[in-house]
Amino acid sequence: MLKHRYFLPALVVLIGVALSVVILTSKPRPAPVEQEPPPPPLVEVITAQPADLALTVSSQGTVRPHREINIVSQVGGIVVATSDQFADGGFFDADSVLVQLEDADYRLELIRAEAQVADAVQLVAQEKGRNRQAAREWRDLGNDEANELFLRKPQLAGAEAALEAARANVEQARLNLARTSISVPFNGRVREKMVDVGQYLTPGTPVAQVYDTDVVEVRLPLTDRQVALLDLPLNFRSADSQLPSAAVTLSARFADREWQWAGRVVRTEGSIDVDSRVIYAVVEVEKPFEATSGSERPPLAIGLFVQAEIQGRQLSQVVTLPRNALRNDGSVLLVDAQNRLTTRPVRVLKSARRQVWVQGLAEADNVVVSQPSIAVEGMAVTVRHVDGLLGSVGNGE
């Protein structure tokens, strides 16, 4: 009985093991299946269309006077009157009297100087008469060689010199009298007045700070890349050199509105900034304070911060691309006729937030505008043209 108890379970186990071995060994092996290679990565391209363009250059600056001076008194005296326009912010015309000093002392000085001239004229006439009389007396003595001192020539020369000095004193007195009327030889505006009626001025006393209102300037910093896009007046010393003048549009926000003024680049400054390595172009705007008929545009005030768009020179074979078409190393990816990637270095002319303008591409080059995660020279790609991606091509920001 004991043998039968252990025999049956052992038999069942053996039979199970045998069936498992049969099942495992009799299972058919899977047939090998060939894997298809993955398709080439998809890239979006646009077709390059080179064109002749004049790109604009953006910069900014602050309006400043073309001419600004400190008026000082050349003579002393009490201020007896000032012009109605002699006030902070007041406009004045060229050669109009801004400050009048008391001139009584200078009128008297002129009279005394004129009297000295009359005395000097009389002395010259006397010496000329004595000279002729001495010459006759010497001839009567029968001697042709006369002594200059006897002929009173030194005395006559001294009298004539005294006459010239007296006339110079008259001119000086007239100048001093004219200088009691203080004016400026250009149309201007008072930035700050420093004297008033009743104040005594000594020679050299500051009277006011004024600036020219016929022309204002704006200094525009330009990088090396921006300079390459412009025809700038670089001020060669040669007298016959032709200096171009680029048109500039200045814009600023004033009184919650956007305004524009037209100007021109007239010169570049004499050196490159050693800290920023930029060159400054100077823009002039004429008649900035004159009102335009039918316009509410404010004057181009001194100190106003403005944005500038400078018209560039005509460039050939310029291609406009989306900003993401340009790689970090200054190159672009192209797709050749076999749908394989190639790299092309380009010259970047201008870069904006969404677009770049480059040279170095040919007509109908397919430029990749969607950068693949892995880009290897010669890699096969699948191409999708997106020529309408940019819309209308321009040179704005």
Q: How far is 104 from 112, CA to CA, in rounded Å?
A: 13
Say if CB 349 and CB 224 are below 8 A apart: no
State yes or no: pLDDT of 146 exceeds 60. Answer: no
Check residue 385 and give its pLDDT: 87
Q: How far is 136 from 132, CA to CA, in rounded Å?
A: 6
Options 2.60.40.1180, 3.30.70.100, 3.40.50.261, 2.40.420.20; CATH of 42-52+316-389 = 2.40.420.20
Least confident of 118-127, 137-146, 202-211: 137-146
Check residue 138 and give its pLDDT: 65
Q: How far is 162 from 121, CA to CA, in rounded Å?
A: 9
State yes or no: pLDDT of 393 exceeds 50. Answer: no
The two structure tokens encoding residue 71: 């008026």
Q: How many CA atoms lie within 13 A of 357 on its CB side?
A: 23
Confidence (pTM)? 0.73
State yes or no: pLDDT of 326 exceeds 60. Answer: yes
Q: How far is 23 from 178, CA to CA, in rounded Å?
A: 130
Say if CB 384 and CB 45 are below 8 A apart: yes
Tell me which CATH homologous superfamily contains domain 58-65+212-314. Answer: Efflux pump adaptor protein, beta barrel domain (2.40.30.170)
State yes or no: pLDDT of 23 exceeds 80. Answer: no
Residue 3 confidence class, pLDDT cut points 50, 70, 90: low
Residues 51-96: tens digit of each pLDDT: 999 999 999 999 999 999 999 999 999 999 999 999 999 999 999 9
Residue 391 confidence class, pLDDT cut points 50, 70, 90: very low
Residues 240-291: tens digit of each pLDDT: 555 567 899 999 998 889 999 999 999 888 888 888 889 999 999 999 998 8
Residue 392 confidence class, pLDDT cut points 50, 70, 90: very low
Say if CB 346 and CB 328 are below 8 A apart: no
Residue 127 confidence class, pLDDT cut points 50, 70, 90: confident
State yes or no: pLDDT of 347 exceeds 70. Answer: yes
Q: φ and ψ at 115, to 5 degrees?
A: -65, -40
Say if CB 159 and CB 127 are below 8 A apart: yes
Residues 328-344: tens digit of each pLDDT: 888 999 999 898 999 99
Q: Which residues contact residue 334 at a Cβ distance below 8 angstroms, ignoring those fewer than 6 apart?
A: 341, 342, 343, 344, 365, 366, 367, 368
| Backbone Cα Rg of the chain | 46
Check residue 73 and give its pLDDT: 96
Q: Which residues in the chain are classed under CATH 2.40.50.100?
A: 73-102+180-210
Check residue 275 and give its pLDDT: 87
- 3-state helix vs strand vs coil in the chain, percent to 5: 25, 35, 40
Least confident of 121-125, 168-172, 201-205, 373-377: 373-377
What is 73-102+180-210's CATH topology?
A: OB fold (Dihydrolipoamide Acetyltransferase, E2P) (2.40.50)
Residue 13 confidence class, pLDDT cut points 50, 70, 90: low
Q: Which residues in the chain are classed under CATH 1.10.287?
A: 103-178
Least confident of 155-169, 190-204, 212-226: 155-169
The average pLDDT across 189-214 equals 96
Least confident of 28-32, 188-192, 217-221, 313-317: 28-32
Say if CB 233 and CB 267 are below 8 A apart: yes
Q: Which residues contact residue 127 at a Cβ distance below 8 angstroms, ignoring those fewer than 6 apart?
A: 152, 155, 156, 158, 159
Least confident of 27-36, 184-193, 341-350, 379-388: 27-36
State yes or no: pLDDT of 224 exceeds 80. Answer: yes
Check residue 41 and give its pLDDT: 83
Q: What is the mean pLDDT of the chain?
A: 85
Report the percent of the chain where pLDDT is more than 70: 82
Q: φ and ψ at 270, to 5 degrees?
A: -75, -5
The average pLDDT across 180-195 equals 96
Q: Which residues in the chain are classed under CATH 2.40.30.170?
A: 58-65+212-314
State yes or no: pLDDT of 380 exceeds 90. Answer: no
Residue 37 confidence class, pLDDT cut points 50, 70, 90: confident
**Closest listed residue to residue 214, CA positions, set 62, 94, 71, 85:** 94
Check residue 273 and give its pLDDT: 84
Say if CB 351 and CB 380 are below 8 A apart: no
The average pLDDT across 104-126 equals 92
Q: How far is 368 from 324, CA to CA, in rounded Å?
A: 9
Q: What number does CATH give the domain 103-178?
A: 1.10.287
Q: Which residues in the chain are classed under CATH 2.40.420.20?
A: 42-52+316-389
